[in-house]
Amino acid sequence: MSQSALIVAKFGGTSVADYEAMNRSADIVLSRPDVKVVVLSASAGVTNLLVSLAEGQPDDERQHLLKNLGQIQYAIANRLRSAAVIHTEIERIIENVALLAAKATHSPCAELTDEIVSHGELLSTLLFTEILRERDVPAQWFDVRKVMKTNNHFGRAEPNIATLAELAQSLLVPLVNDSLVITQGFIGCEENGLTTTLGRGGSDYTAALLGEALQARRIDIWTDVPGIYTTDPRIVPEAVRIDEITFEEAAEMATFGAKVLHPATLIPAVRNDIPVFVGSSKTPEAGGTLVDNQTRHQPQFRAVTLRRSQTLLTLHSLNMLHARGFLAEVFAILARHNISVDLITTSEVSVALTLDTTGSTSSKGSLLTQGLLTELSSLCRVEVEENLSLVALIGNHLAEATGMGKEVFGVLDPFSLRLICYGASSHNLCFLIPSDEAEDVVRTLHKHLFG
């Protein structure tokens, strides 16, 4: 089989949540002969349990979390013919988690968090491989850390693309010619051999990176919804599925809060022009969304997205007036603290910017450390606002469109708009609003524009 015909398929947490879900996912894999690499998330709920353990818990709570972890995985193992063998493996892995979690009670840290959290994907891939073998499928379990070499930015590590391509050719290509390869999403390994993670939702990114390294024909993302919708159907039940969408539109949607795809997923796909299919493992027959370079139809308005938990920093300084270098200094400080700026607007004596707080594996702690605030305060007066949400209108040629003010803002009269970003991209119009108004804004906009 030529490499160009190969498909990489990724299954999310709900798609491997229990024995029935894993078997549905196995049916999908086996009905598509070109799928040769399968990337799995941890079973639903497992990553959150592991993150809690990594935060350092008192004895009783730790035992409770470990028990819950075991229940999820043993419930799948008990349905297997070789249950006793798999039980032993699961027991060994959970014992390792218990040791690491005990260590975290004394000295929690980002390195330890990544090590603990990685066990979710190790467990799900072990179980899924066994399900396939019981169907007499030549399935091979593969430790993705052998190829996914990253930097040591624990919690949100960046892969080394060149090394991955080289190792995938030497270690993975020989395997896919003879068997179905089952591997882990989300995790990697830095140069000293320590486990890293690619950030929450990083299994999509893993699938795309492996697709790129193996020159795949397509990347399939199987989740719990049959494609990408005009907005979150949980907020607006009338939301409509988008059957085909361009990389640019999908990337904007993912970046601004659409949870179906991880924001970084599309980068490797775009680099290599690899189509990405998004479908539901519960109803594969329902079809899905194809993300590709070109689509037959590119409407002015494509979707409305919502991203919660936004932080707004407003920096005031009279030194900004007719001065050079103020913004450069602000960005240098933020870069030193590994802060990614999201949206920005400026006036003569102030600059307002939102911080990208999404993506890190650990959910604990604010990006606004005392060290960062102290450095910024030496330069200017700092105001911090939280409990904000970002609503983004995604579309095409928005920056050149006429009548946008009336079309969009005319219906938002009842709401408080804290910040507006428009014109920098032809694919989005964004505004920051109080979180308690966010869903109403999404519903109002969706009804008016997609009605």
Q: Is 12 labeled as ligand-binding? A: yes
Q: What is the rounded CA–CA span in Å between residue 88 and residue 111?
A: 27
Q: Is 234 labeled as ligand-binding? A: yes
| Residue among 18, 13, 1, 5 nearest 221 (CA) | 13
What one-character DSSP code corresponds to residue 197? E
Asked whether 176 and 6 are in contact (CB, 8 A), the reply is yes
Residue 122 parent element (H or E): helix 119-133
Q: Is 259 labeled as ligand-binding? A: yes
Q: Is 29 labeled as ligand-binding? A: no
SS3 state at 217 = coil
Q: Is 47 labeled as ligand-binding? A: yes
Query: Which residues are CB-contacts of 127 (< 8 A; sequence separation ≥ 6)?
Result: 16, 22, 73, 76, 77, 80, 86, 90
Looking up tokens 């140069």 gives: 191
Distances (CA, A) of 362 to 87, 198, 380, 388: 29, 11, 30, 21
Q: Is 224 labeled as ligand-binding? A: yes
Residues paired with 279 in a beta bridge: 222, 288
| Residue among 197, 50, 202 nearest 114 (CA) | 197
Six token digits for residue 375: 């450095």
Q: What is the rounded CA–CA span in Å between residue 377 and residue 369?
A: 12
Q: Is 121 labeled as ligand-binding? A: yes
Q: How many residues does the chain have?
A: 451
Q: What is the rounded CA–CA span in Å between residue 395 and residue 373?
A: 36
Q: What is the rounded CA–CA span in Å between residue 48 and residue 19?
A: 20
CB atoms within 10 A of CB 95: 11
Q: Is 185 labeled as ligand-binding? A: no
Annotated binding site for substrate: 47, 121
Annotated binding site for ATP: 10-13, 223-224, 229, 234, 259-260
Annotated binding site: 10-13, 47, 121, 223-224, 229, 234, 259-260
